[in-house]
Amino acid sequence: MATPAPHDEQARFDAVIAADEKIEPRDWMPEKYRRNLVRQISQHAHSEVVGQLPEGNWITRAPSLRRKAILLAKVQDEAGHGLYLYSAAETLGTSREEMLDDLLEGRAKYASIFNYPTLSWADVGAIGWLVDGAAIVNQISLCRTSYGPYARAMVRICKEESFHQRQGYEIMQTLAQGSPEQQAMAQDALDRWWWPTLMMFGPHDADSAHTQQSMQWKIKRQSNDELRQKFVDQTVEQAARIGLTIPDPELRWNEARGHYDFGEIDWDEFQRVLGGNGPCNRSRMRDRRRAHEDGAWVREAMLAHAEKHNRRAAGAAA
């Protein structure tokens, strides 16, 4: 393949971005744009895959058959979303195996939220309501990302995710209207998941290593702080409606800003969990590694079978 003159290509790439059009897989793109995308999309994919674990923890214990089916379908969707995202990243020339190796060998990150444990049934509700709620805020914004396959994956994911938050909220609502024990369970889950959910949006814009460049390239369309604010604003009313209290004494409406003010995140905790020392970092990675290693013989066998089958077919044709 002839290498076109870089400045022409750069100009064309810039023009496509400026015109709000999409970059597609076979287009020329700056190497940094490609690397940035692979990092972000694969991180996103890893998050979906690791994200199966905390909720998966409750599938076998779901308190009704209806809830069991819903939760199983929901966790299955996370696997599907991981698959769509790995596929999008693969169009950039990085194989799923490379991405998986990066995850399993600790070089890649995934959403830190999944390093917190699910301790009661209400946690399943809280994750759907808060964690998926936060994810949706972020993902709706990403439907307009500049890389075509990523944007298309996000559109499909947003469509499928729309039931995730609702089922979580429905669980919380049912508990909040239930017995005192159930109400306590719901409040406890909100208390534990609130702050980690706010951390999902990442560091403040001023401290975010990737934000500025990603915004220029229109990979990210809204900043961490903007998205976090949007999430807080929409969630306050949802909590109030079912009589649950958001665990933040500084939370109050700011008429002048037209937004809720809220307290400062514990950034030490954020860094600690991100750095591998959250409550479940090790067990999540152990589970993923075990699934991968225990499955090695299966993947080997299916390739061996397909090769035998192809040889036999070729032999029969000859």
Partner 1 sequence: MSDAHFTYVLRLGDNALVLGQRLSEWCGHSPFLEEDIAMANTALDLIGRARMLYSHAGRLEGRGRDEDALAYLRDEREFGNFLMCELPNGDYGFTLVRQYLLDVYHRHLYAALTESRDDELAAIAAKAVKEAAYHARRSGDWVLRLGDGTAESNARCQAALDELWGYTAELFTPDAVDSAMLEAGVAPDLATLRTRWEADVLARLAEAGLTVPADDWQAEGGRAGRHTEHMGRLLAELQFVQRAYPGQQW
Partner 2 sequence: MSQRHLPLWEVFVRSRRGLDHKHIGSLHAADAEQALLAARDTYTRRQEGVSIWVVKSSDIHASQFEDEGAFFDPAEDKVYRHPTFYDVPEDLKL
Q: Which of residues 278-317 bind partner 2 (CB under 8 A)?
A: 296, 299-300, 302-303, 305-306, 309-310
Least distance in angstroms from the C-beta of 80 to partner 2: 6
Are the C-beta atoms of 81 and 157 separated by less than 8 Å?
A: yes
Are the C-beta atoms of 201 and 138 separated by less than 8 Å?
A: yes
DSSP letters, 212-250, are HHHHHTTSS-S-HHHHHHHHHHHHHHHHHHTT---S-TT
State how far the Cα of 195 lies from the Cα of 190, in Å rounded to an integer. 9
State how far the Cα of 139 lies from the Cα of 157, in Å rounded to an integer. 8
Q: Which is nearer to partner 1, 83 or 215 (CB)?
A: 83
Residue selected from 57, 87, 141, 174 as contacting partner 2 according to rule CB under 8 A = 87
Q: How many residues can be counted in the chain?
A: 318
Q: Which is nearer to partner 2, 10 or 283 (CB)?
A: 10
28 binds partner 2 (CB under 8 A): yes
Q: Which is nearer to partner 2, 55 or 90 (CB)?
A: 90
Residue count at the site for partner 2 (CB under 8 A)? Answer: 28
7 binds, among partner 2, partner 1, none (CB under 5 to 8 A by kind): none
Stretch that binds partner 2, among 78-86, 197-205, 225-233, 246-254 (CB under 8 A): 78-86
- Return the closest-CA partner of residue 78 out of 46, 106, 104: 46
Are the C-beta atoms of 78 and 49 separated by less than 8 Å?
A: yes
Q: For binding to partner 1 (CB under 8 A), which residues are involved? A: 49, 52-53, 56, 59-69, 72-73, 75-76, 79-80, 82-83, 86, 121, 171, 174-175, 178-179, 181-182, 287, 290-292, 294-302, 304-306, 308
Q: How far is CA 207 from the centre of its chain?
A: 21
The amino acid sitting at 268 is: D
- Quick one: 97 exposed, middle or buried, by C-beta within 10 A (0-12, 13-18, 19+)? exposed
Chain residues that interact with partner 2, rule: CB under 8 A: 1-2, 4, 26-28, 76, 80, 83-84, 87, 90, 95-97, 101, 153, 156, 160, 296, 299-300, 302-303, 305-306, 309-310
